[in-house]
Amino acid sequence: MDRRQFLTVASGVGALGILYSGLKTDNIKYEVELTESDNVLYIPPMLNDPFSDFYSLPTLTINNKTHSFFHNIVSSSIGLSSSQHQLNYLGPTIKVKRGDVVKLSIKNQTNEVTMNHWHGLHIPGSVDGSPHQLINPGESWNTTLHIQQEAATCWYHPLGYELGIQQMYLGYAGLMIVEDESNKSLNMPVTYGLDDIPLIVQDKNFDSEGKEIFNLNTRYRGNTLVINGTVKPYISVSPGWVRFRIVNATQSRILDFSFTNDSIFYQIATDGGMLNAPIAIKKVRVAPGQRCELMLLIEEKQQNIAINIVDSFWNDLSVLALKVLVEDVACTDTVLPNSLRQNSLNVNFNLVDTLPIVKKISTDEVETAKKNILEKTIFNMNEIESAVVRDKDEVWEVEVKGNYTFHIYGTSFLVVSINGIPPESCGWLDTITIGGRGNELHKMKILISFNTTTYRHGVNQFQAAYNPTNLKYHVPYLYQLVSMDEQGVSKIGQFSVIEQT
């Protein structure tokens, strides 16, 4: 069936005043001042080709490097460099346009095997990056990305499994921005690094000398937050609207973001694209792997402000994470639109509820595995569980006991309900947290569809369609249920996407 049958579409309306009206600020003011230990926020350089739609980007080379989180104290790190930029930590921000065909090569110059997942991109399984597409030391992975989705903030990183966890911790990660003509016409902040600010948030542990430490044998949780590899960062901005693109790149922290002085700000986007309209809020929650876009109005001659980050799951971290200094210059000429989409996006819940559940993902195997805690992740990479028909809307159910982050490759989904309750707002997601502490059962329904397949390059497509669980014909998509609990067990499953036979 056509996706439009399950979505109600309405023209955008100026709902901002309604959304804003219920929020009040108090009179408590927090003074934000620089100290000697504060550091300028590092902004990763950008790789893009704004004037072409079929092009090659410079090769990204993964290197073992060193990075100083503290002055004159060197830690081991991973950087992704190109002919344009030599980086000791993180990779460049890659910016692409809807409709682009981008050729890109990733070369592994480390001494460990890795892989690269394009988290949030709607691309075929053959190029999405998985354990079936490992990049061995000294080898390169050549790929072509056909960008066919709406504007969104995505990112790239190794799989959060075994060595990939440590590689991401050491700096193997980068932002990927997709833009489209509709989003560009809104006149929102787009000047990268000035009023369009990337924030890749990680948690770290350091020894008594200030060197970064990591233990792969324990579920990881750091006690120090860094943003873009910067400890105690600050950034200077001009008055006007400022846009923040947030990536929660921690392993197991659900983070609440707010601004000092109880400031009101606006969420404009989720993982997969724009919301219908800006939502005025004082706090936003971001799960590991999730992205969100926020906008904040900086007034002329306004006092400095800061972003607070609080761990809402472990409740063991609360920090003034980024100081925002207000410059005494002219305002930037950008706006916060009343409507963010040409066509509003809403789930027709009554119609969705009539659909059968096509795929059920549960933690039944996880409960059994907890009896043998030697394995932290259940994953059979030689098994494709099931097949999905391309461009067909389906309702899936995710059922868990405990607290999990759920991520799915190759598409975005809409939440229909969590424990029978519809979401407060409607936005495209590919990552979400579900569950809670204890042994209570939690259920989430999602509406999902895929516009690409998992066929391997060069295979007979008819044979691939008639052999949907055969790895000879498919590079399957993955879903991940990542446990947030200390002794939790995670689960990774695989599925294929085929053309209608």
152-188 pLDDT, tens digit per residue, is: 999 999 987 778 999 999 999 999 999 999 999 999 9
Sign of CA dihedral 434, 436, 439, 441: negative
Question: Rounded to whole angstroms, how far apart are CA atoms 450 and 26?
Answer: 46
- CA-to-CA distance for 267 and 340, rounded, in angstroms? 11
| Helix spans in 286-328 (H) | none
Locus of tokens 């002919």: 83
Q: Say if CB 484 and CB 252 are below 8 A apart.
A: yes
- Sole residue written with tokens 């309702």: 395
Other beta carbons less than 10 A from residue 482's beta carbon? 23
Q: Could you tell me the CA-to-CA distances from 378 to 77, 159, 212, 475 in Å, in that order?
A: 28, 14, 29, 19
Whole-number average pLDDT of the chain: 90
pLDDT category at 17 given cuts 50, 70, 90 is very low
Tokens, residue 123: 């691309």
Predicted confidence (pLDDT) per residue in 112-156, tens digit: 999 999 999 999 999 999 999 999 999 999 999 999 999 999 999
Of 92-101, 110-119, 130-139, 431-440, the range with the lowest mean pLDDT is 431-440
- Residue 163 dihedral angles phi and psi, to the nearest 5°: -65, -25
pLDDT digits (tens, 9 = 90+) for 387-420: 999 999 999 999 999 899 999 999 999 999 999 8
